C-alpha cells in the first residue's frame, strides 16, 4: 500500500507541471551515446509519447553522428574533423542523408508507432535553409572549408506547426538546403535550437550522454543545476563550457533570447530523465534560464 501511495504522491507532484505545460511545444534533441542502446531509445520515446498523451506538443530533432561514422568506416572513407566538425564531401553528404533518413529516422518512427503515437518524418531539407559554415582551426585560428556543413538561416515554422496542430509528433533529421539546392549537414544541437526559436517552443531539451553541465567533466557530482545567460561567458572563459558543449550552450542562449523560456540539458541514459526533469520539483540535469 505504501508504494501505491508513493505513486499517487508522484502524480500529484507532477499535476501543476502538467497543467502549466498543456498545449505547450517542447523540442527534444536526442543524440550522442544515448542513441546507441535500444533500451535507452525505447525509454526516451515512451517518455515523449506520455508527454504527448497528457497534452504537451513534443517535437523530436535527432542526431546520428556515430551511425554516420560507422557507415563511413565500413565504406573505407576517412573521417576528418576540424573544430569538432566532420569534413563533408559530396560522397559523405550522400551517406549522411541516407543514414539520417533511412536508418535513424525510420527506426524512431517505427518505435513511436509501436507505442501507438502518430509521428511524421520531417526532412530538414524541406524546412531548413542553410548557409555554408566555415570552421575556425583551433591551432591556426584560420577559417577552414569543411565542405557541405552549414548553419541554419531560416526555418519553415508554419509547416512544423501544421504537423503539430494535426496531433502528430514531427521527427526531424538535421539536414538543410541552400538557395542552389545543395544539401548541408547541420549540427543537431544548432538545428534544434533554431527550430525551437522559430516555432516559439516553451522548452528546449538536450538529451545526451552526460548528466548536464559539470564544473569538473570527470566528476558527475559537480553538476551545475542552474545557469543564467549572463553567466555563460564566464563559464566559457574558465573552460567549464568547452568542446562539444560549446555549440550546445551557445545555441541554447540564442533560443532563450528570442522567447524560449527554458533550456534543459539532461542525461538520456538515465531512465525517465525527460519526465523527471520536466515534471518534478528537483529535476535531474542543468537548466539554462534567460536573465
- Annotated binding residues, written as ranges, equal 64-65, 86, 185
The 10s digit of each residue's pLDDT in 123-151 is 999 999 999 999 888 778 888 899 999 99
Q: Show Cβ contacts of residue 286 under 8 Å, excluding neighbours closer than 6 positions.
A: 211, 212, 213, 223, 224, 225, 226, 227, 264, 265, 266
Mapping DSSP onto H, E and C, the string for 68-87 reads HHHHHHHCCCCCCEECCEEC
In this model, does residue 288 exceed pLDDT 90?
yes
Residue with cell string 551511425? 67
Q: 10 or 120: which carries more pLDDT confidence?
A: 120
Mean pLDDT of 261-274: 90
pLDDT-derived band of residue 13, with 50, 70 and 90 as boundaries?
confident
Poorest-pLDDT segment among 100-109, 145-154, 156-165, 282-291: 282-291
Beta bridge partners of 136: 143
What is the percent of the chain where pLDDT is above 70? 98
Give dist(CA 125, CA 34) in Å, integer: 25
Give dist(CA 275, CA 48) in Å, integer: 9
What's the pLDDT at 191?
Answer: 96
Domains detected in the chain: 25-289 (3.40.1160.10)
pLDDT-derived band of residue 1, with 50, 70 and 90 as boundaries?
low
In this model, does residue 121 exceed pLDDT 70?
yes
Mean pLDDT of 265-287: 87
The 10s digit of each residue's pLDDT in 211-259 is 899 998 889 889 999 999 999 999 999 989 987 788 889 989 989 988 8
Give dist(CA 167, CA 96) in Å, integer: 29
- Annotated binding residues for substrate, written as ranges, equal 64-65, 86, 185
In this model, does residue 279 exceed pLDDT 70?
yes
**pTM of the predicted model, to two decimals?**
0.93
Give dist(CA 87, CA 128) in Å, integer: 20
The 10s digit of each residue's pLDDT in 19-47 is 999 999 999 998 876 677 888 899 999 99
Q: 170 or 245: which carries more pLDDT confidence?
A: 170
Give dist(CA 240, CA 236) in Å, integer: 6
What's the pLDDT at 11?
Answer: 78
- Measured at the CA of 43, the angle between CA 169 and CA 202, to 5 degrees, comes to 45
Amino acid at each position: 500500500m505504501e508504494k501505491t501511495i508513493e505513486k499517487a504522491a508522484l502524480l500529484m507532484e507532477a499535476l501543476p507541471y502538467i497543467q502549466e505545460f498543456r498545449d505547450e511545444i517542447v523540442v527534444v534533441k536526442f543524440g550522442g551515446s544515448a542513441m546507441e542502446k535500444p533500451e535507452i531509445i525505447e525509454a526516451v520515446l515512451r517518455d515523449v509519447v506520455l508527454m504527448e498523451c497528457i497534452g504537451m506538443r513534443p517535437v523530436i530533432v535527432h542526431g546520428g553522428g556515430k551511425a554516420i561514422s560507422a557507415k563511413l568506416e565500413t565504406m573505407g572513407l576517412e573521417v576528418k574533423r576540424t573544430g569538432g566538425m566532420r569534413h563533408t564531401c559530396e560522397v559523405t553528404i550522400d551517406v549522411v542523408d541516407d543514414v539520417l533518413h533511412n536508418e535513424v529516422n525510420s527506426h524512431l518512427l517505427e518505435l513511436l508507432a509501436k507505442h501507438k503515437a502518430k509521428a511524421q518524418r520531417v526532412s530538414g531539407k524541406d524546412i531548413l535553409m542553410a548557409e555554408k559554415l566555415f570552421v575556425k582551426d583551433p591551432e591556426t585560428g584560420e577559417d577552414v572549408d569543411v565542405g557541405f556543413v552549414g548553419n541554419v538561416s531560416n526555418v519553415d515554422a508554419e509547416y512544423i506547426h501544421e504537423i503539430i496542430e494535426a496531433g502528430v509528433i514531427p521527427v526531424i533529421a538535421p539536414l538543410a538546403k541552400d538557395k542552389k539546392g545543395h544539401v548541408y549537414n547541420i549540427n543537431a544541437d544548432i538545428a534544434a535550437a533554431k527550430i525551437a526559436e522559430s516555432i516559439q517552443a516553451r522548452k528546449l531539451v538536450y538529451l545526451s550522454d552526460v548528466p548536464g553541465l559539470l564544473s569538473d567533466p570527470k566528476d558527475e557530482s559537480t553538476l551545475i543545476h542552474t545557469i543564467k545567460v549572463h553567466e555563460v561567458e564566464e563559464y566559457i572563459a574558465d573552460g567549464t563550457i568547452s568542446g562539444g558543449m560549446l555549440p550546445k550552450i551557445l545555441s541554447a542562449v540564442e533560443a532563450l533570447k528570442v522567447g524560449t523560456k527554458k533550456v534543459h540539458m539532461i542525461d538520456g541514459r538515465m531512465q525517465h530523465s525527460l519526465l523527471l526533469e520536466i515534471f518534478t520539483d528537483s529535476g535531474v540535469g542543468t537548466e539554462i534560464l534567460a536573465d
